[in-house]
Amino acid sequence: MLNKLMHNSFIHITKRTDTPKWQSWLVRVAAVVVALLASAVVSSILQPGTFGAFIQNVFVGNFATTNRIIRLLQNTALLLLISLAVTPAFKMKFWNIGAEGQVLMGGLMSVVMIKYLGGKVDNSLLIILMLIMAILGGAVWAVIPALFKAKWNTNETLFTLMMNYIATGLISICIAVWVTSGSQVLGVLKYGRFPKIGGYNYILNIIIVAIITIVVSIYLKFSKHGYELSVVGESQNTAKYIGISVPKVIIRTMLLSGALSGIAGWLLVAGTSHTISTTSAGGMGFTAILVAWLAGLNPVAMVFTSLLVQFFNIGAEYAGSNFGFGTAFPEIITSVFFFVVIASEFFVNYNIKLNPAFAEKLKNKKTCEESADSVENATNALEQENNQNLQTESESIEKDDNDTKNIDDSVANKNGEVND
């Protein structure tokens, strides 16, 4: 049935095997432009006449001042780091959906250090202690589902997702203990902050993430551990056959994944928000999954993907604020971006052509139609010729009848003359 359907379909979809890199990049660049135009259309629907103004606001919101540019890079760095965190697990085909919770646990452990050591130790030492505890918090939170997976082959997707909600609950409990007023808002903390560099905030965040990106790229591509997790991802049976301990690789990789997420939580507390709440991660743990997959689990490509996501998000936030669209508008625009870019991957990986079988069918149909037209034309010509012959013959008979009549009239006249 499927073969018959494909045989009769108008188009034929085939997987590309030799797509030039320039063509792939051209499609992706075009997708970004289309996403920007589509976002402007959404803005125009919500408020007519804002098509051009939306595009202008997107660029102004990201590049109007040095502080805006640094903020764009800072947000990009955080999203990039969380994307890097899930990449080793995904390469191993361990579906770590718990990056959001691991980030929150890293942030929570950083705040614990501030609450109990802030003002009692030197700020530099406090920041280092925050980093150590953040790494431990994220790593422990990630290794729990890894242990269950290695021992009892549990479903890591549901397990890691569940851990997100537990992390949120723990933060709520801690805030309730720390804040006696019942406001459930911890407030901005004055200790454990990164120093400014060149008079600007966030510079240290960007530098740290840049270094981590290079290290993770080298680790995944050139290290023995990176090779082992790739083999486990391809086939656990093959990994076992060549002597790789699959449980060990799973646990080690998730420790790394959780540690990187914990560092992201540390950067949030020490270098960005200086507080913790149940929404501190801002959904970046889930956005990072899309970023990682769109980049093909390539750390270098993740830099550009993260930058584009934050470009649309910050630009939409600025435009939405000016147009009065509300806080949900940036999420809508980010969704438009993901939809268009993901759709463009279809054209990168697949080729759409006219189905050869369908084309042959059309050709045969055209040939039959031409043959039918030829037969019809020949029939019409023959019929016309027969009609002309019949008309000529009829005229000839009519002429003979007239001649006969004339002869009869002439004979009758002569007989009349003889009688006279």
**Is residue 302 within 8 Å of 84, Cβ to Cβ?**
yes
Same domain, 161 and 300: yes
Same domain, 133 and 119: yes
In a domain, 5, yes or no: no
More confident residue, 416 or 384: 384
Return the DSSP state at 190: S
| Ordered DSSP codes for 365-404 | HHHHHHHHHHHHHHHHHHHHHHHHHHHHHHHHHHHHHHHH
Tell me which residue of 309, 304, 296, 298 sits closest to 35, measured CA to CA: 309
Query: For residue 371, what are the CA distances in angstroms to 145, 149, 319, 364, 368?
Result: 71, 69, 63, 10, 5
Same domain, 341 and 376: no
More confident residue, 134 or 400: 134
Same domain, 409 and 284: no
What's the pLDDT tens digit per position in 110-129? Answer: 999 999 999 999 999 999 99
Same domain, 70 and 127: yes
In a domain, 9, yes or no: no
pLDDT band at 2 (very low <50, low <70, confident <90, very high): very low
In a domain, 27, yes or no: yes
Q: Answer with the one of 337, 352, 367 that is the final residue of a domain.
A: 352
Tell me which residue of 169, 192, 215, 214 sits closest to 272, measured CA to CA: 192
**pLDDT score for 386:** 64
DSSP 3-state of 224: helix
Query: For residue 353, what are the CA distances in angstroms to 8, 193, 367?
Result: 14, 58, 22
Same domain, 50 and 77: yes
Same domain, 378 and 324: no
**pLDDT score for 133:** 98
Instruction: Name residues whose C-beta falls within 8 Å of residue 77's C-beta, 6 or more positions apart in sequence.
Output: 202, 205, 206, 208, 209, 210, 267, 306
In a domain, 83, yes or no: yes
Q: How far apart are CA 297 and CA 251, in angstroms?
A: 20
For the cut 70, the answer to whether the pLDDT of residue 5 exceeds it is no
Domain that holds residue 414: 355-420
Same domain, 286 and 419: no
In a domain, 285, yes or no: yes
In a domain, 126, yes or no: yes
Same domain, 316 and 409: no
**pLDDT score for 349:** 83
Same domain, 387 and 410: yes
CATH number for the domain including 68?
A: 1.10.3470
pLDDT band at 315 (very low <50, low <70, confident <90, very high): very high
Same domain, 92 and 196: yes
In a domain, 394, yes or no: yes
Count of structural domains within the chain = 2
| DSSP E strands, 6-99 | 11-15
Which pair of tokens denotes residue 315? 């630009």
Share of residues in the chain with pLDDT > 90 (%): 72
Q: How far apart are CA 228 and CA 226, in angstroms?
A: 5
Q: Answer with the one of 306, 328, 352 that is the final residue of a domain.
A: 352
Q: Answer with the one of 314, 332, 352 that is the final residue of a domain.
A: 352
In a domain, 272, yes or no: yes
Which pair of tokens denotes residue 298? 């390539």
Same domain, 61 and 138: yes
